[in-house]
Amino acid sequence: MKHIAIIGGGITGVTSAYTLAQAGYRVTLIEKNRYAGMETSYANGGQLSASNAEVWTHPSTLVKGLKWMFTKDAPLLMNPMPTWHKLSWMAEFVAAIPRYRDNTEATARMAIAAREHLFGWAQAEGIDFDHVRKGILHIYRDKKGFDHAGRVSTMLAAGGLERRAVTPDEMKAIEPTLAGRYYGGYFTESDSTGDIHKFTHGLSQACARKGVNFLYGCEVLRAQADGQNAQITLKTEGQTETHVFDSIVVCAGVHGRGIAAQLGDRLNIYPVKGYSITVELTDEVSQQAAPQVSLLDDETKLVTSRLGQDRFRVAGTAEFNGVDHDIRADRIRPLVQWVNQCFPGVSTRRIEPWAGLRPMLPAMMPRVGQGRRANVFYNTGHGHLGWTLSAITAHQLAGHVQQHFAKRAPSVTLGLKGVPDGSIRI
């Protein structure tokens, strides 16, 4: 039985472990934290959102980045201090702008395909993750934003997603607790929400039942591969040891760039920080005043999800500031203010702030497939749609691994127009 090492225990690492264990491989997952899903997969916006498949490689993103560069509480904040990594990433981002439409359509197709796998796994393994299937409502305060959403809808429709324009009155009927004046919205009934950390933890337990070996609290010091064998040197509680495997899968999020370099590959992932607050709905008034339907406010770039009866998650913003885990008060404050404005009946007396680093590739498309060495694989770079896409990219990864070990040429197809064999490589 071939032995595969997976580096990284976030959502992509755990879903990869699950699909490879299902395929009959011996799997060891290496994670530096004590549990699975403790970094970027801990407290994101909670959306499983094909309707948020629009990639960011649009000229307006550049304009906003320059406009907001010195506004500390802006939805998009760029640290003006130049680094070679940041400059190279930005150059590739600009180069990907012509593929904006194609990549948006492809992302929508993947997001739709992912649902069947993710929902099926949760049901089969009995994972309770506060899943709510009440759709996602995109809200717009002016005609400009609403018209842009209409153009995005044509791309999403080309990718197979149904969503419909709604009037302010229809928005109120969909989510009665939403306060404020709006020009209109778009509603996607097929989207849903849940707690990513609960899902990741539950699936990690399912992996353990399938025989996956978890090495928690292990720092990867070095990774090597020659196409036939692979070695990973780990540091655990001050001790160093080297493990031998048949293959390596890199799912290490923003830390994957350095590991890829050791393995002979260029993985131009940049850490894009996002923030969230979890509002504790400790009284009945707040529970009644908080929304049941998930929202996406395109103007402020904030998303929401209701996590059970007593939690309300608000997340968003993008900060380009390198590997920085600091939770800044001036970045959390706009999230609290947004809740106060849109849901004034919700008490924000008790909130839990959080920040995570999204692993983003310049074209906003994940890298799934083989590296330069034949026995090295990647499933990473999902950016702001890590949970939404994780199930389909894990399925695609398993196909690549099976092809490698079977030494056969036929490709794995998902019947997705524009997404042949899952080889999304930028």
235-253 confidence digits (pLDDT tens) = 998 899 999 999 999 999 9
Tell me what pLDDT residue 416 has: 43
Q: Residues 6 or more apart from 283 whose CB is under 8 A from it?
A: 347
Rg of the chain (C-alpha set): 21
The answer to whether residue 10 scores a pLDDT higher than 50 is yes
Tell me what pLDDT residue 69 has: 80
The answer to whether residue 408 scores a pLDDT higher than 60 is no
Rounded (10°) CA dihedral 197, 198, 200, 206: 160
Closest CA to 265 of 426, 24, 98, 100: 426
Helix axes 386-406, 11-22, angle to 10 degrees: 40
Q: Where are the beta strands (DSSP E) in 254-310?
A: 270-280, 294-297, 302-306
Alpha-helical (H) ranges within 9-164 are 11-22, 59-67, 84-95, 100-125, 143-158
**SS3 state at 195:** coil
Q: Which two tokens stand for residue 132?
A: 């709510």
Q: Which two tokens stand for residue 61?
A: 């993103």
Q: Which residue has the higher pLDDT, 76 or 354?
A: 354
User: How many beta carbons lie within 10 A of that of residue 295, not counting itself?
Assistant: 25
**What is the number of alpha carbons within 13 Å of residue 308 lying toward its C-beta?**
13
Largest CA distance in the chain: 63
What pLDDT, in 10s, does the model give residues 17-56? 999 999 999 999 999 999 999 999 999 999 999 999 999 9
Q: Which of 80-89, 167-176, 231-240, 399-408 has the lowest mean pLDDT?
A: 399-408
**SS3 state at 426:** coil
Tell me what pLDDT residue 72 has: 84
Judged by phi (left if over 0) then psi (alpha if -120 to 50, else beta), residue 31 lies in beta
Question: Is residue 340 very low, low, confident or very high in pLDDT (cuts 50, 70, 90)?
Answer: very high
Average pLDDT in the 292-298 region?
97
**What is the number of alpha carbons within 13 Å of residue 219 lying toward its C-beta?**
7
Tell me what pLDDT residue 70 has: 78
d(CA 149, CA 155): 10
Rounded (10°) CA dihedral 387, 56, 329, 284: -50
pTM of the model: 0.93
Tell me what pLDDT residue 132 has: 96
d(CA 246, CA 5): 8
Average pLDDT in the 246-261 region?
97
d(CA 342, CA 336): 10
The answer to whether residue 410 scores a pLDDT higher than 70 is no
Pairing of strands 26-31, 213-216: parallel
Q: How far apart are the first and last CA of the chain?
A: 32
Mean of the per-residue pLDDT values for the chain?
94
d(CA 77, CA 68): 6
Check: CB of residue 143 under 8 Å from CB of residue 150: no
Rounded (10°) CA dihedral 7, 275, 388, 210: 40
Average pLDDT in the 125-139 region?
98
The answer to whether residue 163 scores a pLDDT higher than 60 is yes
Check: CB of residue 16 under 8 Å from CB of residue 397: yes
d(CA 226, CA 373): 6
